[in-house]
């Protein structure tokens, strides 16, 4: 198979499940095309300049196949940022992780404790201050209750309901996670395509294609339990090096790093 044919096949595989999501959410091809044009232009502008030379509209036009007027129009509009969604997701994730691993907010058996809302130590407000900075505790609580990650008990205490941040009733946040997680997976694969083996990032999959339906649910339970335990262990290791949790940590630069795990299943034919 030629290089172009391989890329075309890969893009079709990527776009097929994405098209299902877009169509379910009312995104037309025209809207998708406009988004793709903007992304093409901004990536060409930022990542494909000739070393030592300023990137030009003419070169971006050549790289993308779009005319100069279209490129100029896109670049004249400010790029949309989704910092608010990133912050909301990261805040909730950090608070839940801290609640699960920090002894100050646990029972004697090491489980997440039911926390009073206010208090100098061992309270929900103290938890939010420690793991989410200066964000008001009430705002974090309202968000966690809204996505069914926590609940307010009759005695006024706050109870954690989940092991990780999973916005089960928030389509907007689920779509934010789609963008974040899929982008990181594709970036990892892109890095590995360009890098020699010693410098490759972790990218592994376990998959079989001749399984009976009855094997799927037990494997899902096994994979979920094992994966959650691993992710909690890795979370503990990373949190100890994170400057948001430990401002005293020194070092060079600022990086995001992590590991993602997902389960998939799909029918290989239409037989029952």
User: What confidence tens digit (pLDDT) does each residue in 61-88 have?
Assistant: 999 999 999 999 999 988 766 555 566 6
Q: Which two tokens stand for residue 87?
A: 């912050």
Query: Which residues touch 190 (CB under 8 Å, ≥6 apart)?
Result: none
Q: Which two tokens stand for residue 97?
A: 């992780």
Whole-angstrom CA distances from 2 to 16, 115, 224, 246 are 21, 60, 38, 50
Q: What is the enclosing helix (H) or strand (E) of 59?
A: helix 57-64
Q: Rounded distance, CA 251 to CA 235, Å? A: 19
What percent of the chain shows pLDDT beyond 70?
A: 93
- Across the range 164-193, mean pLDDT stands at 82
The answer to whether 94 and 132 have CB atoms below 8 angstroms apart is yes
Among the ranges given (71-85, 149-163, 235-249), the one the predictor scored with the smallest mean pLDDT: 71-85
- Supply the pTM of this predicted model: 0.71
Look at residue 154 in the predicted model and tell me its pLDDT. 93
Query: When comparing pLDDT for 172 and 76, which is higher?
Result: 76
Q: Tens digit of pLDDT for each residue in 89-146?
A: 677 788 998 898 889 999 998 899 999 999 888 999 999 988 887 788 998 898 888 8
Is it the case that residue 267 has pLDDT exceeding 60? yes
- Across the range 218-230, mean pLDDT stands at 95
Number of H helices, E strands in the chain: 9, 2
């Amino acid at each position: 198979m030629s290089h172009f044919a391989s890329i075309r096949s890969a893009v079709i595989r990527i776009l097929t499940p994405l098209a299902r999501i877009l169509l379910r959410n009312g995104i037309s091809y025209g809207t998708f095309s406009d988004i793709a044009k903007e992304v093409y232009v901004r990536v060409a502008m930022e990542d494909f300049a000739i070393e030592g030379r300023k990137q030009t509209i003419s070169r971006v036009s050549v790289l993308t196949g779009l005319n100069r007027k279209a490129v100029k129009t896109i670049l004249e509009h400010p790029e949309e940022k989704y910092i608010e969604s990133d912050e909301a997701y990261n805040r909730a994730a950090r608070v839940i992780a801290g609640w699960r691993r920090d002894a100050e907010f646990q029972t004697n058996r090491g489980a997440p404790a039911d926390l009073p809302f206010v208090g100098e130590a061992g309270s929900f407000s103290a938890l939010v201050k420690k793991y989410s900075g200066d964000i008001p505790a009430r705002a974090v609580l309202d968000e966690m209750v809204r996505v069914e990650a926590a609940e307010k008990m009759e005695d006024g205490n706050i109870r954690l309901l989940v092991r990780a941040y999973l916005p089960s009733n928030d389509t907007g946040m689920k779509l934010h996670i789609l963008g974040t997680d899929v982008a990181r997976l594709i970036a990892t694969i892109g890095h590995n395509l360009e890098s020699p083996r010693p410098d490759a990032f972790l990218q592994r999959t376990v998959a079989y294609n001749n399984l009976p339906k009855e094997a799927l649910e037990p494997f899902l339970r096994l994979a979920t339990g094992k994966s959650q335990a691993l992710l909690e262990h890795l979370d503990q290791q990373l949190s100890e090096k994170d400057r948001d949790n430990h401002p005293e940590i020194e070092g060079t630069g600022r990086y995001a790093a992590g590991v993602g795990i997902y389960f998939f299943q799909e029918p290989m034919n239409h037989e029952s």
